Amino acid sequence: MSAPARVVIVGASIGGLTVAESLRDEGFDGEITLLGDEPHLPYTRPPLSKQILAGEWQPDQAAIRTAAELDELGIRVLTGRRATGLDVGARTLHTGDGPIDFDELVIATGTEPRRHPALAEASTLRTMDDALRLRERMEAARRVAVIGSGILGSEIASAARKRDAEVLLVGRSGALGFGGVGTLLSEELVRLHEAHGVELSLRAELVAARPAGTSTAPDATELGFADGTTRTVDLVVTMIGGTPCTDWLASSTLELADGIACDRLGIAAPGISAVGDVAAWFDPITGRHRRVEHQSNAIEQAIAVAGRLAHGAEGAQPVPLFWSEIHGTRIHAYGWFDPERPLAELPKSAELPNTAESVGTVFGSHDGAGELRGVVGWNAPPRDFRTARAAVVTSAHPLVAHS
């Protein structure tokens, strides 16, 4: 396989930028064009719901590369450039500023927040500008409602409590989720939130919202629930999941379902790959196409795709790795988790003394054959989590039957 002359990457977040950087690391000397629909140079997103929202960082601290560094790498960056269509056969990307031809295209457009029908104008969080607007509103809010029971909902609730606001966390399923771990950590997360003063309403169906501003709380909103109860808050944040950014591909011939369907190498069609939150790679562990919405997965996929484009090399199948910090508790997860099998606490390292540093726990997820397939570190000592992670079986015999 000969290396392409022109690589175009759509999406200038960590996945897209890592493809570009990794191509240069692999010795690729062709043209690299990186398009982003935001006006900012590439930045890392996890701090948006943590340090940026908490006011601990300024936007430039989340930047990944400066303009000078990108120029030195020979990466042409087009900010504020939105992709509008794709001609797969002609290998032409259509944008709001005209077509761009490519030899290889990598799609890394991520997701956009799903909107609640009763709260179409509520605050949400995906971009740097979203985070800065939300931070400003949160500074003035004394009563905050967070709609959504996933990781980001928990992180935003944590940030609001850090500002000493009253927080109501609303969900429908009755449980709290943690990315690929699903709801297996729900009981631990419930206890954590309750210990930090978050009010949980996890079987609530929000059906209405109306302005309820007063002279002292001009932005107040009254929330109405299916059971007839109402709550008035100063700020509502909706975090009910994301939708893959694939609308611009509707007229293409790519297979679109929950994201862009790719093979196990990230190939969606000849000359076209996808990485990150928008990409549904075939997973030989589960026998299904699946998206993994975590930054480390986007990075690993990007590195693998860059190696394949530069040399034809097939990289190792990425193993999901993700983390969060909620109310000061650091939670790491690695591997695959069967929602039908509860987590089991793993032994602590015998080499660590029983001190405050070793209070945390490592949980394991085993498959039907008893093999360790995933681990969670709950404030765990780094050594314990590293040891458990090394024991995870990553070979590709499936957890579930192929479908």
pLDDT, residue 353, reads 45
Q: Which residues, 6 or more positions from 36, have their beta carbon under 8 angstroms from its beta carbon? A: 11, 12, 13, 16, 42, 77, 78, 79, 80, 81
Q: How confident is the model at residue 396 (pLDDT cuts 50, 70, 90)?
A: low
Residue position matching structure tokens 């939105």: 82
User: In this predicted model, what pLDDT tens digit does every residue of 82-99 receive, in sequence order?
Assistant: 999 999 999 999 999 999
Count Cα atoms within 13 angstroms, Cβ side, for 274. 28
Please, what are the domains in the chain?
A: 6-112+243-311 (3.50.50.60), 115-240 (3.50.50.60), 336-390 (no CATH)
User: In this predicted model, what pLDDT tens digit does every residue of 254-293 receive, in sequence order?
Assistant: 999 899 999 999 999 999 999 999 999 998 877 889 998 9
Report CA-CA distances (Å) from 95 to 8, 76, 236. 12, 15, 34
pLDDT, residue 101, reads 97
In this model, does residue 356 exceed pLDDT 50? Answer: no
Report CA-CA distances (Å) from 146 to 192, 200, 386. 16, 10, 33
Residue position matching structure tokens 């020979």: 74
User: In this predicted model, what pLDDT tens digit does every residue of 137-175 receive, in sequence order?
Assistant: 999 999 999 999 999 999 999 999 999 999 999 999 999
Mean of pLDDT over the chain: 92
pLDDT, residue 349, reads 63
- What percentage of the chain exceeds 70 in pLDDT? 95
In this model, does residue 400 exceed pLDDT 80? Answer: no
pLDDT, residue 354, reads 47
Whole-number Å distance between alpha carbons of 197 and 136:
22
Q: In the structure encoding, which two tokens stand for residue 8, read together?
A: 């175009």
Q: How confident is the model at residue 58 (pLDDT cuts 50, 70, 90)?
A: very high
Mean pLDDT along residues 297-308: 95
